[in-house]
Structure 1
Amino acid sequence: MVRSILFVCHANICRSPIAEAIASKIARNRGLDLTIDSCGLSSLYAGEMPCNYSVRIAGEHGIDISSMRARQITYKDIDTFELIIAHDDKNRLELMEMGAKNVLKLGAFGYNGGDIPDPHLFPSYEGVDEVYAIIERCVTNLLEELTEK
């Protein structure tokens, strides 16, 4: 069974912190021994907390992500994590260009293989709840699949 999962999106301020928090909560509740983390491909927001939309929607689901801080992926991450989960095709391709071989797309686990929409690009809070639901469904399915193996 996989023992470490890294969730990767563009900047690590919206989708990947939500995925990390959901996965960590599920792992804790199920007693799974997993190392779970998240990061972004860009350093644009490194050191900053997740975006307000993500903090708000996670809070509405009983998860506090306000203490998380964005960080950029490193080559050590690629070597260390057994499974790297990209949120969209662009992320997946960039990770593969960096040499990552263990990359899967989160949307393959409950979103028909689609790209997970980026709430940071939304003009308002409307629709962020749908993105949270997509991430939650996909992360739940991913962890179920991993624990069945």
Structure 2
Amino acid sequence: MSNAAHRILFVCLGNICRSPTAESVFRTLADQSSVLCKIDSAGTSGWHIGDAPYGPMQNAASARGDDLSSLRARQFSASDYDRFDLIIGMDNQNIKDIKALQPKQTKTNVIKLTEYGSLGATYVPDPYYTRDFDTALDIIEDAAQGLLKSLV
């Protein structure tokens, strides 16, 4: 790996469940490794700008050792293509919304988080709607480990 930090952005719909969880989980893994990363998260919608992650998601993540309390939601924008080398969406609609803002000449890669996973999941279900925070965490944790391995 080069000495340059990987610049990674995790994106979901509201930036209050899946993407802040992926940010926190991956930050912990990166901090425990030799991989240098700048990590952030955003949402494709502007519904929750400035809000902390959803309480039940914070509780589920906290039970596994991840503290989401300091994170605040922000909206994804086209300028994120200049700030990040890798933009990772949680589901097909996120990917579609991210790519809708993609400048023609960008070299930033856009990929679904589950592409790095080994559980066979094709997307990270939104626990805000499903109420299944543990399944979302299982998929995120697995894929985050795969992502880290891809960067080493």
Q: TM-score normalised to the size of structure 2?
A: 0.89
The match for 1:22 is 25
Moved more, 60-69 or 18-27: 60-69
The answer to whether the Cα contact below 8 Å between 1:105 and 1:113 also exists between their aligned partners in 2 is no
Aligned-pair RMSD on alpha carbons?
1.5
Q: Determine helix, strand or coil for the equivalent of 2:39.
A: strand
Q: Find out whether 1:85 has 2:92 as its counterpart.
A: no
CA–CA separation in structure 1 for the residues paired with 2:139 and 2:128: 15
The answer to whether the Cα contact below 8 Å between 2:9 and 2:42 also exists between their aligned partners in 1 is yes
Post-superposition Cα deviations, 1:52-83, rounded to whole Å, max 9, x if no partner, equal 12100111011111121100012221221000
Post-superposition Cα deviations, 1:73-100, rounded to whole Å, max 9, x if no partner, equal 1222122100000000001011111116
- Equivalent residue pairs, number: 144
Q: Among 104, 116, 134, which residue is 2:139 paired with?
A: 134
CA–CA separation in structure 2 for the residues paired with 1:98 and 1:74: 7
Q: TM-score normalised to the size of structure 1?
A: 0.90
Structure with higher helix content: 1
Matches within 5 A, 1:10-49: 10-49=13-52
The match for 1:108 is 115
Matches within 5 A, 1:64-79: 64-79=67-82
CA–CA separation in structure 1 for the residues paired with 2:33 and 2:77: 29
Pair 1:19–1:144, CA change in 2 (3 A): same
Q: Determine helix, strand or coil for the equivalent of 1:112.
A: coil
Post-superposition Cα deviations, 1:30-56, rounded to whole Å, max 9, x if no partner, equal 132110110001000101110112100
CA–CA separation in structure 2 for the residues paired with 1:90 and 1:130: 19
Moved more, 96-105 or 52-61: 96-105
Cα drift, residue 112 of structure 1: 3.2
The answer to whether the Cα contact below 8 Å between 1:53 and 1:119 also exists between their aligned partners in 2 is no
CA–CA separation in structure 2 for the residues paired with 1:64 and 1:17: 10
